[in-house]
Amino acid sequence: MDQYGWLLVALPAAGALVLLVGGRRTNAFGHLLGCATVLGAFGYGLALFARTVGLPAEERTRELDLFTWFGVQALQVDFGMRLDPLSLTFVLLITGVGALIHIYSIGYLAGEDGRRKFFGYLNLFVAAMLVLVLADNFVTLYLGWEGVGLASYLLIGWYTGRPSAATAAKKAFLMNRVGDVGLVLAIFLLWRELGTLEYAEVFARAGEIGGPTLLAITVLLLLGACGKSGQFPLQAWLPDAMEGPTPVSALIHAATMVTAGVYLIARCSPLYDLTATGRLVVASIGAITLLLGAIIGCAYDDIKKVLAYSTVSQIGYMILAVGLGPAGYALGIFHLLTHGFFKAGLFLGAGSVMHAMHDEVDMRRMGGLARHLPITFVTFGLGYLALIGFPFLSGYYSKDAIIDAGFGAGGTAGWIFGGTALLAAGLTAFYMTRLVLMTFFGEQRWRELRTEDGEEYHPHECAPVMWVPMVVLALGSVGAGYLLHAGDALVGWLEPSVGALAESEVSVVPHDLVPLLTVAISALGVLVAYLVVGRHRVPVDRPQRVSLPVRAARADLYANAINEAIIARPGTWATRALVYVDNKGVDGLVNGTAALLGGTSGRMRRLQTGFVRSYALGMLGGSVLVIAMLLVVSY
């Protein structure tokens, strides 16, 4: 069965090829083909998973060599696959959640022109992500890495008539290129140090790399992860990606692109195990990001933007976890899986709300939708409870484990990591409760309003093709955490890939107390949201005078301004300076030399008059000059 592992990538890739090359001839069945290819990949991935579970731990990692990709002198790169617990876990997440999003998209984009092309882009996205997680070397991983970037650009900019969508797509593409530079440089350093880019050899010989070089490699890998996963300081593109259709938001934010950075660090765990400083940098970036995302999420009125910053924050939890080393690799993947269920469900629920409200995203123009969208309300509510860590739902098991591991770092680091994660849990409960209250409860503010086209709002439940995937994801939001946590099922499964989970014995907060603290601070966040939003009338228009912290949060904590000041504007100035030097210096020297030669030749040409008397006079003058010089020399 393993020898056919290439089908995991080939199925969605073939779907993308048919849909993007077949043209309008595939319009009638394009959406069905797009769904079938991903469902086929999920079925085969499930079969591989079932087979692997039955193998001893030492036999769960298999290398599948497909063909020689290219060779340049000593560098020989094979296109192969690494089938192990980590890659198969991601395969099931990508294809399983991806298939549900594909099915949801049938209803969401019903009647829209070019729908089959949209499914072609979705298939391309899934295929690239599968290449990324199944690669057995860093070059193949980079192929999938760039493929995901390309597909995300096409999907975010799907609405080509919107300048904002084109800008968001370009912003995502360019900011990801910054992170990609870090990944490329890390790959170059690995080749220079070890002369190989195969995972098996790199990880086995990681101890041969010098300390400073190893630190540089791990930090550069982190830079790549920050770009793809929207982590500080490259997080500004992720909320803008909401310009794409809601299924794109669910795909990017829940199951695929933003998880790539977490996967990269977990996959490179043998490198990070050898550098405590590298792990500290990773954990610090995660802690900063999870707090920034939670703070900004409290200030937005756009339902998709709130969920986007929630993703930034939750990915921060995962980066913090994998930054804790053996104490957190498996926990980061654990939260990644539970997050895949409840965040995909939340985004699809938001899409259902938008579908019912003429694409309205402003929560101030909603309210009282629970009675009009009962299925959406229930499924969204279960995702909400899982996200805030309601006891015994998915997020309760995975997020609490990360907070506990943060405190388990010990000393000052334990207080900082654990305290930051705990504070963010309270903020998460606040902004998500605020979202639910403004959207589903209170007065029906939309009754007194009109759409931009002057139409009345008539909220209605979405079609079964949309709400069935939402129900499946809601069930995962409820039960996935317990199933993965029971008997340390996930930890034991991932051990051959990321090592055994190392529980800390120096926690600054007793382990038994952490769940109680998390539930208490989350309950406090819910209470504060109710007191601030639930007991007051929500204004349809945003107040003009707000406090400085709220203004800063609504400005994304000035992330765009900082990037503009530190990177974009100096880059523009440097480009202009180089253009000036090129025009006035390089081109000036070349053009000046040409002008000098041309002018000199023009003036010399005037001496050629064509008159014999002029030439005779010249010959006479020359003869006199030669005779005069001979006379001077002789005397």
Q: For residue 500, which of 288, 331, 287, 625 has the smallest C-alpha distance?
A: 331
Q: Are 477 and 341 in contact (CB under 8 A)?
A: yes
Q: Are 269 and 229 in contact (CB under 8 A)?
A: no
d(CA 5, CA 521) in angstroms, rounded, equals 46
Structure confidence by residue, pLDDT tens digits, 87-118 = 999 999 999 999 999 999 999 988 787 888 99
Q: Percent of the chain at pLDDT above 90?
A: 58
What pLDDT band is residue 544 in, cutting at 50, 70 and 90? low
d(CA 319, CA 330) in angstroms, rounded, equals 11
Q: Which amino acid is at 422?
A: L
What's the chain's Rg over C-alpha atoms? 31
The model's pTM? 0.89
Q: Are 431 and 532 in contact (CB under 8 A)?
A: no
Question: What's the confidence (pLDDT) of residue 234?
Answer: 87
Mean pLDDT of 49-77: 88
Q: For residue 364, which of 529, 550, 533 has the smallest C-alpha distance?
A: 533
Question: Among 166-170, 497-501, 613-617, which is the least confidently predicted range?
Answer: 613-617
- For residues 627 and 547, the model is more confident at 627
Structure confidence by residue, pLDDT tens digits, 267-277 = 999 999 999 99
Question: Among 241-250, 309-318, 457-466, 540-549, which is the least confidently predicted range?
Answer: 540-549
Cis peptide before 391 (omega within 30 of 0): no
3-state SS, residue 77: strand
C-alpha distances out from residue 177 to 125, 243, 521, 523, Å: 17, 20, 38, 40
Structure confidence by residue, pLDDT tens digits, 362-393 = 898 888 899 999 999 999 999 999 999 999 99
543 has a pLDDT exceeding 70: no
Q: Which amino acid is at 616?
A: A
Which helix (H) or strand (E) segment is 83 a member of?
A: strand 75-83
Question: What's the confidence (pLDDT) of residue 14?
Answer: 95
Mean pLDDT of 147-162: 90
23 has a pLDDT exceeding 80: yes
Place of tokens 């949209």: 118
597 has a pLDDT exceeding 90: no
540 has a pLDDT exceeding 80: no
C-alpha distances out from residue 356 to 103, 284, 365, 372, 460, Å: 18, 41, 13, 9, 5
User: Helices marked H in 257-373 — which ranges?
Assistant: 260-267, 269-272, 276-297, 303-323, 329-356
d(CA 191, CA 185) in angstroms, rounded, equals 10
Phi, psi of 69 (to 5 degrees): -80, -60
Structure confidence by residue, pLDDT tens digits, 197-239 = 999 999 999 999 988 999 999 999 999 999 999 898 888 888 8
Q: Which amino acid is at 309?
A: Y
Phi, psi of 608 (to 5 degrees): -90, 85
- For residues 134 and 575, the model is more confident at 134
